[in-house]
Structure 1
Amino acid sequence: MGRSGGSIRVLHVDDEPELRSAVKRHLEREHDDIVVTTERCASDGLETLSEEPVDCIVSDHGMDGMDGLAFLRAVRSDFSDLPFVLFTGKGNESIASEAISAGVTEYLQKGDGTDQYTVLANRIERAVSENRTKAALERQKQRHSTLVSNLPGMVYRCRNERGWPMTFVSDGARDLTGYDASEIENGAVNWEEDVLHPEDRDQIWDEVQTALAASEPFEVTYRVTTKDGERRWMWERGRIVARDEETEVLEGFITDITVRKERERELRRYETILQAVGDPVYTLNEAGVFTVVNDAMETLSGYDQGDLIGEHISQVMTPTDVHDGEELIADLLADEDRANGTFEMDIVTADGKKIPCENHIALLPTEDGAFRGTAGVIREITDRKQRERRLEQFASVVSHDLRSPLTVVQGRLNHVIQTGETAHLEDAADAARRMERLIEDLLTLAREGQRVGEKKSVAVDVVAEEAWDSLQTGDATLTIDTTAQVEADCNRLRELFENLFANAIEHGGPSVTVQVLDTDAGFAVADDGDGIPDERHDDVFERGFTTSDDGTGFGLAIVDTIVRAHDWSISASESTAGGARFDIET
């Protein structure tokens, strides 16, 4: 049994008590690092050896019972490397030869005087030192071997030459290539010709030589063909470790990255699909933090990918919508037969605008069934929401505004049928005409979601004159004081003027004066009628808003629709004559 360092534990076996005492005394007195344990026979020495740590054995040969050679053979059966010094006074060449054959470390004959103990101590120290060095090297070699064998790849040493002739290859070569390390080391397998993919050979050579010329380690990624014809991807890193008269010697490490390459390829395919979807797509981890967003998500939200990745979903959602989404996820997790769901929400853009959307979310699939996050596909539903609002307005008109004149028509006609008096037919006709106007306005508003037609440069005064001529204006007067040219859909612009003029005549009286004039930002329509109360300037564009018993409440809403379809803006104010004024910024 050996010790890794510190003092030297010596087991001295000799059947002469005086000699045992003399050896112990001289060794321990003159050498502080030596500690001697003595035994009188070989059998006692073996027992001590089994119980205590020993760095070196010193033994006599001619002892009763088991002699020194027999003792040596017994020690070697269990401790092949333990230093053993045969220190005997009855030595000869035959004994020395047998001792060497049995594995003795040192053979030393006893002599006279104390110098023999100095020689013995030196032999002991040298033998122990060499044994400890050898043991340390073996441990280091074993650690290195263990490390290399546990690496997920192959360690090599090769010459920097075409073909990459290898002088050392670890056992990992078989797992990587299907070839035994010995086949590659002895040249039976040429690494360049038999293993490297033909299309990658020159590129690998060039990249390695470029790195070496810059005195830098090299890293290369390439394909190989295994012994059974399989194609795999490898990653290699290496460097120069030595130079000889002919070339450099390289050492490096190679590992299989086929799975990583397949994942990267799958990720690229996945990202291509994400971009091709067209709709905003994202993924969140289990904490609700963005991990993936596509370009459409950037466009919708106004945030760059870098601004969203790593941020919580609340960056683009209101707290209420986040709560609704979390409740939906909880429902999905609780229902084994359901993996996706939909809820409505608003996307809060980078500039604070809220865009109504529908969010289709699904749980991310996992092998262990644990929750890892969600994927979402967002679809903007602004147009749908507008259609729903128009449908609600239509239903309101049908259920209320059309019902009133319809009731008048039914009542008057019933009275005529019962009495034969036709004077009430005029009231029925007026009610029918009101229903006709309501229906026409509803049809106009139904075009809100449509784009304007082809835009071209039109003269505002010409279109305004055409609109005025299409109306029954009575004693009303139009003055045009503009030379403006605008890019517009001519028909929709004429429709805008018709509704503004009709509004002025309806609310300003039969003799109202209407003016079309230039402004710095576009043009305006003003009248000298009763005007609009200041607190109602923003309300007049709402659908159904009217202060007239005969009005439909949709005229200015139609104007607002046409303005927004052109990407213009409109505002209401008081004219210089005290009437109403509408400014259109183009």
Structure 2
Amino acid sequence: MDVGTSATTEPIRVLHVDDDESFGELARTYLERVDDCLDVTTATSTTTALGALDGHDCVVSDYDMPEQNGIEFLERVRDERPELPFILFTGKGSEEVASDAISAGVTDYLQKEVGTDQYTVLANRIRNAVERRRSERALDEHNRRLQTLISNLPGMVYRCRNEPGWPMEFVGGECEQLTGYPAAALEAGDAVWGEDVIHPDDRDGMWTTVQSAIDTGDPFEVTYRVVTRGGDTKVVWERGRGIRDGDGGVEAIEGFITDVTDQRRRQRRLERTSERFEALFENSPDMVNIHDADGAIVDANQRFCEELGYDRADVVGMRVWDVDTEADPEGVASMEAEMERGDVRRFDAEFERSDGSTFPVEVHLAQLEVGGERQYLAISRDVTERREREAELRRLKRQYETVFENAQDGLFLLEVVGDDDDVEFVYRQLNPAHEAMSGLSAESLVGKTEHEAFHSALGDQTTSHHRRCYERREPVEFEEVFEFPAGDIVVSGTVSPVVVDGEVTHLVGVTRDVTEFKERERALRRERDRLEEFADILSHDLRNPLNVAQGNLELARREVDADHLDTVANAHERMRTLIDDVLALARQDGTVTDLEDVALDRAAKRAWSTVATGDAALAIESEQVVRADEGRLVQLFENLFRNAVEHAPENPDDSVTVRVGDVDGGFYVEDDGFGIPEEERGRVFESGYSTADGGTGLGLTIVSELAAAHGWDVAVTEGTDEGTRIEVTGVEPAE
């Protein structure tokens, strides 16, 4: 047999030690010839050989040598290279030498013979010894690696019998960390895997799954719960397979088990997070899309598709600049290149719908890392309404600024600082009218509290109004004399709260200098008092003589029946009417403040019942209710009715009809008498104007005064039947 034909081709380096140099060379030649893998080095002394052990795979040594015999040399080799194969190739054959060699740990023993066949045998012995040693070394390395692997696995390896309970034959790795039981307890049966470790609710399912895989010869993977020695529940993942014996039966099960409790929790959290994200993505009121680093949209929610008028299949694959009219590839790439994972950018854009219409949006863009690739999440919101509101706010602000700056009344704005226990009012704005009225510049007040600005009783005066407004959360009216730098003036005003989210944030004040008005009012009041005193004197001094005259006239009529006495009676009546009208005018105070809801038909009927109307008729064509002083409204009707009757035709066949009806913004009273010429209508409200014999000329003047006291306007026009119509407008209807 040619040893050189062996499958092992790795060189085998042999150190041959023999004191016979010629025999050594001969042996080297034959050994290398019969096995071309052998590389033989010769040494003639053990001293030389000991220095050359490194780098050799086998030592072949003679027994009888001058320095040391083969056994002594073997012992020295074992001290330095205990694993090195050592073959004793000697001419001295004896059982004693062989026994000593075996005791010393010789690998093989071969006796020298005559002929060359012995070198073939030696070559085989060398190859077998080296290959055996190499196999042992490989097995040791394999076992070392396996042990290292097992010791570093995040779990345990096992071999168990395929029986109910799965009794363990071998357990390695992190058994105690996983289960709380030491490996020895499981191997000894002190704790049984299928009875003490697997969760009771998972045992039957585990057995069924594993047996099904074993029956088909496939490996199995299972996830189940275990109960640790301390009573804790963990989730484990196991992979294993059945190991068959020579007869094809299942000899055992071998596998690996690891703790996946944390992974399972993370997976569940991830699933919940994914579900929430999916719900937010699909149900978000905002438009959401995801695009890749090339700007291609990879996903979009329903809102995005609906707002743009596309199907989802149409949107996927579109570029962001196909949607955003203000975007372009270079700009998108530049912005995204500056972003890092977790960055969020906000910017305004304009989206274009499928029909070509556009709308403004606000975009929030974030970078994501998906499968090792950059993607971008864009959340967009239609801000059309917000832009319109902002434009409206800007317009209102401009209007506010215009009104504020150009208002004739004084205006100021206070900011509320602090809380209820320590609130301050800080000036933020004053208009020119307020500066002119008070003599205080905006520069001297803005940013200061009232106490800081004034340091006087004026601060206390204003603060009291402002605090009441703040506390009541309703407008507060005031009228006081203020000691401004411009002088002492009477200020009338209103402070109103600005409430935002239930909190008073600012106060707005409107002020007016009413000093002159108050002075005129006091003068008018004094004049009215004098006029009323005069009217009382007039009433007393004229009515008494008139009553005497009327009384004597009645006595005279009993004694004398003369037509001229009727003339005297008419004069007396005219004087009485004149006195009543003068008193009515004198006692008008010019304004009406006590307003109430008054039905026009009720006031008209009440007035008609107090006027001597003779054959005249009243027609009321109004159901209107107005805000008025009812007594003065009745008086106004009385004068209008009296005026209509006094100017009626004298022919009894032509009795007058007086109508009350509605006009835009008020009411009218008209008759079907002669009417008033157009050129005379401008004078009818003048004191003393009258077209009737014996008229005082004050009736319509009183009407004008009563209307003005209400803030109404009164005018004369032509009636429907060419009579006279008096229209009263500017009347406030009841709420």
What interval of TM-score do these two structures reach, taking the shorter chain for normalisation?
0.5 to 0.7
Q: Distance in 1 between matches of 2:122 and 2:386?
A: 103
Partner residue, 2:257: 254
Q: 1:270 aligns with which of 250, 258, 273?
A: 273
Partner residue, 1:320: 327
Q: Report the CA distance between 1:229 and its aligned residue.
A: 4.7
SS in 2 for 1:161: coil
Deviation per residue, 1:486-509 (Å, 9 max, x gap) = xxxxxxxxxxxxxxxxxxxxxxxx
- Change in Cα spacing, 1:11 to 1:278, as seen in structure 2 (3 Å) is same
SS in 2 for 1:253: strand
Partner residue, 1:405: none
Q: Distance in 1 between matches of 2:97 and 2:390?
A: 113
Q: Report the CA distance between 1:58 and its aligned residue.
A: 1.1
Q: 1:279 aligns with which of 280, 285, 291?
A: 285
SS in 2 for 1:216: coil
Q: Report the CA distance between 1:15 and its aligned residue.
A: 1.8
Is contact 2:291-2:299 (8 Å) kept? no
Deviation per residue, 1:2-31 (Å, 9 max, x gap) = xx9523322111223343233234323444
Q: 2:20 aligns with which of 9, 16, 20?
A: 16
Structure 1 unmatched ranges of 5 or more: 366-370, 400-586
Partner residue, 2:411: none
Amino acid at match of 2:203: R
SS in 2 for 1:279: coil
SS in 2 for 1:49: coil
Q: 1:33 aligns with which of 32, 37, 58?
A: 37
Partner residue, 2:125: 123
- Change in Cα spacing, 1:143 to 1:20, as seen in structure 2 (3 Å) is same
Amino acid at match of 1:262: R
Deviation per residue, 1:72-119 (Å, 9 max, x gap) = 122222323322111223343333222212210112233444444343
Partner residue, 1:68: 70
Q: Report the CA distance between 1:315 and its aligned residue.
A: 6.9
- Change in Cα spacing, 1:142 to 1:278, as seen in structure 2 (3 Å) is same
Is contact 2:88-2:110 (8 Å) kept? yes
Q: Distance in 2 between matches of 1:7 and 1:241?
A: 37
Partner residue, 1:568: none
Q: Distance in 2 between matches of 1:293 and 1:373?
A: 13
- Change in Cα spacing, 1:174 to 1:306, as seen in structure 2 (3 Å) is farther
Q: Distance in 1 between matches of 2:135 and 2:115?
A: 32
Q: Report the CA distance between 1:37 and its aligned residue.
A: 1.3
Q: Distance in 2 between matches of 1:102 and 1:246?
A: 45
Q: Distance in 2 between matches of 1:240 and 1:67?
A: 55
Is contact 2:290-2:376 (8 Å) kept? yes
Aligned residues: 388
- Change in Cα spacing, 1:391 to 1:112, as seen in structure 2 (3 Å) is closer
Q: 1:83 aligns with which of 79, 82, 85?
A: 85
Q: Distance in 1 between matches of 2:24 and 2:317?
A: 78
- Change in Cα spacing, 1:31 to 1:94, as seen in structure 2 (3 Å) is same
Q: How does 1:173-322 map to 2 (within 5 A)?
A: 173-243=175-245, 247=250, 249-274=252-277, 275=279, 278-280=284-286, 287=293, 317-320=324-327
Amino acid at match of 1:122: N
SS in 1 for 2:255: strand
Q: Distance in 1 between matches of 2:210 and 2:61?
A: 60
SS in 2 for 1:15: coil
Partner residue, 1:45: 49
Q: Distance in 1 between matches of 2:25 and 2:207?
A: 71
Q: Report the CA distance between 1:59 and its aligned residue.
A: 0.9
- Change in Cα spacing, 1:302 to 1:60, as seen in structure 2 (3 Å) is farther
TM norm structure 1: 0.53
Is contact 1:171-1:180 (8 Å) kept? no
Between 342-351 and 206-215, the greater mean CA deviation after superposition: 342-351
Amino acid at match of 1:207: T
Q: How does 1:521-540 map to 2 (within 5 A)?
A: none
Deviation per residue, 1:27-52 (Å, 9 max, x gap) = 234443333211112111111113xx
Is contact 1:87-1:110 (8 Å) kept? yes
- Change in Cα spacing, 1:316 to 1:269, as seen in structure 2 (3 Å) is farther
Q: Report the CA distance between 1:60 and its aligned residue.
A: 1.7
SS in 1 for 2:223: strand
- Change in Cα spacing, 1:69 to 1:215, as seen in structure 2 (3 Å) is closer
Amino acid at match of 1:19: F
Q: Distance in 1 between matches of 2:366 and 2:384?
A: 23
Is contact 2:287-2:381 (8 Å) kept? no
- Change in Cα spacing, 1:35 to 1:213, as seen in structure 2 (3 Å) is closer
Q: Distance in 2 between matches of 1:143 and 1:231?
A: 32
SS in 2 for 1:65: coil
Higher relative contact order (CA 8 A, sep 6+): 1
Q: How does 1:71-150 map to 2 (within 5 A)?
A: 71-150=73-152
Partner residue, 2:569: none
SS in 2 for 1:220: strand
SS in 2 for 1:238: strand
Deviation per residue, 1:442-492 (Å, 9 max, x gap) = xxxxxxxxxxxxxxxxxxxxxxxxxxxxxxxxxxxxxxxxxxxxxxxxxxx
Greater radius of gyration (CA): 2
- Change in Cα spacing, 1:303 to 1:144, as seen in structure 2 (3 Å) is farther
SS in 2 for 1:320: coil
SS in 1 for 2:10: coil
Q: Distance in 1 between matches of 2:231 and 2:179?
A: 9
Amino acid at match of 2:188: N
Partner residue, 1:563: none
Q: Distance in 1 between matches of 2:39 and 2:208?
A: 62
- Change in Cα spacing, 1:8 to 1:238, as seen in structure 2 (3 Å) is same
Q: Distance in 2 between matches of 1:299 and 1:226?
A: 54
Q: Distance in 1 between matches of 2:286 and 2:173?
A: 50
Deviation per residue, 1:322-358 (Å, 9 max, x gap) = 9998898899979xxx975644445566887756543
- Change in Cα spacing, 1:339 to 1:60, as seen in structure 2 (3 Å) is closer
SS in 1 for 2:82: coil
Is contact 1:325-1:343 (8 Å) kept? no
Q: Report the CA distance between 1:192 and its aligned residue.
A: 2.8
Q: How does 1:328-343 map to 2 (within 5 A)?
A: 342-343=346-347
SS in 1 for 2:363: strand
Amino acid at match of 1:10: V
Is contact 2:326-2:350 (8 Å) kept? no
Amino acid at match of 1:320: A
Partner residue, 2:649: none
SS in 2 for 1:170: strand
Q: Distance in 2 between matches of 1:328 and 1:85?
A: 78
Is contact 1:224-1:231 (8 Å) kept? yes
Between 230-239 and 301-310, the greater mean CA deviation after superposition: 301-310
Q: Distance in 2 between matches of 1:388 and 1:89?
A: 115
Amino acid at match of 2:98: A
Amino acid at match of 1:127: A
- Change in Cα spacing, 1:177 to 1:381, as seen in structure 2 (3 Å) is farther
SS in 2 for 1:187: coil
Q: Distance in 1 between matches of 2:237 and 2:40?
A: 57
Deviation per residue, 1:262-297 (Å, 9 max, x gap) = 332222332344325743475869947778866666
